[in-house]
Amino acid sequence: MSVYLLATLDTKGDEADFVRRQLASQGVAVTLVDVGCLGKPAVEADISREQVYSAAGADLAEVQHRGDRGHAVTTAAAGAAAILSHAIFSDDTAAGKVSGILGLGGSAGSTIASAAMRVLPIGVPKLLVSTLASGQVRHYVGDKDILMLNAVVDISGINRISRAILTNAAAAMAGMVRAREAQQSAAFDAATTDRPLVAATMFGVTTPCVEAARRILADAGYEVIVFHATGSGGAAMESLIREGLFDGVLDITTTELADELVGGVLTAGPNRLTAAAEKGVPQVVSVGATDMVNFHAPDTIGKQFAERKFYQHNASVTLMRTTADECKQIGDEVGRKLAASQGPTVVFLPTKGVSAIDARGQPFDDPSARKALFAAIRGALGEAGAADRVEVVELDQHINDEAFAEAMARRLLAMLRVR
């Protein structure tokens, strides 16, 4: 087992060697991977840049001759990801198993190292020391458990600041590796101590519903893992469903579909609400918080939305009410995606409101928008010929009513028991 240390050794060689020596001093084995391209490596790697580019199906000399930095970075990222994937998933003992991955870099190095990190399972320690860690990092982290450490100064030489940062990075990685090894060596039988898993989605405005449903499922012997539907949360859930982690899905809060459609900041991408359908995992779905699109502070919202209805959730989060037409489009999307389900699927619709602020007397109460949403779901299922396979349960309740939560939880339990 070894920590894979990724860096461009032509520009970050001395710094990578410093981290390698720090890890070695703590008894951690290191495999140094050179993901550079143009200059001469400052130190010798365990996995050369030639091997990295070859893993991506490219020839290093040809990439160097092309002289396209963007192409080189993209190719190195693919090669690094392939090498890490082989190392952790292959039965080839010569590949070397991965105890963790640590990357150093600016924009190029962060792109390459994070691509390799994202192919590894959740739980494998992943630490990226980056000069970009204090900004928007979602495109580096994706839906994986990547820890980013702000380099503060450029990774260029060992000085009083970089020395402290890199020493801490090595110590953090060593600690994570040792903790994971201790956990893996603990004597327990996962088959008898771990409960079957259910994924659920939650937003602040659907919390009472999810919490009530979670308690029922937990009492029935299931472990419920709740994802915050903030874009990255929904994407992470979809990824883990595809990996086969979950026995069932309680997708109460599908709000990310609204952000994807309208252009909000919390989209989970076009593949939201597809994994359970494709894998045949039993799912109970609702339309929680589809009454809203998420933006940051008011002065960040585009002028095209100037005449819309807004609600200030807090200083940095502004919610915009979805219109009846947008709700129709969201409903079409929900129905179309659920129609492709390969497993048991039921969608629950609450006629009295889909969020805490979509209720009688609340700012986003809009019965016509809800009707458009519900009708579009039924229509899309009917057009796809799935109305007999995907049941629609419409209840004269609010989504946060305890009875609504109980109905969904009980239905999912029944589907899981049949399965």
Mean pLDDT for 28-48 is 94
In the numeric block, the tokens 């160097």 are attached to 64
Split into its structural domains, the chain has a count of 2
Residues 210 and 359 in one domain: yes
Of the three residues 163, 185, 207, the one that is the final residue of a domain is 185
Residues 23 and 36 in one domain: yes
State the pLDDT confidence band at 331, using cuts at 50, 70 and 90.
Answer: very high
Residues 226 and 105 in one domain: no
Q: Are 50 and 60 in contact (CB under 8 A)?
A: yes
Residues 272 and 173 in one domain: no
Residues 279 and 355 in one domain: yes
Of the three residues 185, 206, 228, the one that is the final residue of a domain is 185
Residues 221 and 143 in one domain: no
Q: What b-and-e string marks burial along 347-357, b requiring 16 or more CB atoms within 10 Å of the CB? A: bbbbebbbbbb
CATH code where residue 46 lies: 3.40.50.12020
The SS3 assignment for 144 reads: coil
Structure token digits, residue 76: 């190195």
Residues 167 and 201 in one domain: no
Q: Are 200 and 224 in contact (CB under 8 A)?
A: yes
Plot region of 361 (φ>0 → left; ψ -120 to 50 → alpha; else → beta): left
Of the three residues 185, 211, 230, the one that is the final residue of a domain is 185
Considering the chain, what percentage of its residues have pLDDT values greater than 90?
86
Residues 81 and 8 in one domain: yes
Q: Are 256 and 234 in contact (CB under 8 A)?
A: yes
Q: Which of 27, 38, 30, 21 is nearest to 3 (CA)?
A: 30
pTM above 0.95, yes or no: no
Query: What is the residue range of 369's domain?
Result: 190-418
Residues 215 and 257 in one domain: yes
pLDDT at 192 (0 to 100):
45
Residues 180 and 198 in one domain: no
CA distances 93 to 102, 124, 322, Å, are 21, 18, 54
Q: Give the residue, 400 or 192, on which the prediction is more confident.
A: 400
* All residues at 6 or more sequence positions from 212 whose CB lies less than 8 Å from its CB, including other chains: 402, 405, 406, 409
CATH code where residue 394 lies: 3.40.50.12030
CA distances 378 to 221, 251, 292, 368, 407, Å, are 33, 18, 21, 16, 20
State the pLDDT confidence band at 135, using cuts at 50, 70 and 90.
Answer: confident
The SS3 assignment for 124 reads: coil
Residues 61 and 24 in one domain: yes
Q: pLDDT by residue (tens digit) across 50-89?
A: 999 999 999 999 999 898 889 999 999 999 999 999 999 8
Residues 199 and 99 in one domain: no
Structure token digits, residue 197: 């898993």
Please state, in angstroms and rounded to a whole number, the distance separating the CA atoms of residues 274 and 277: 5
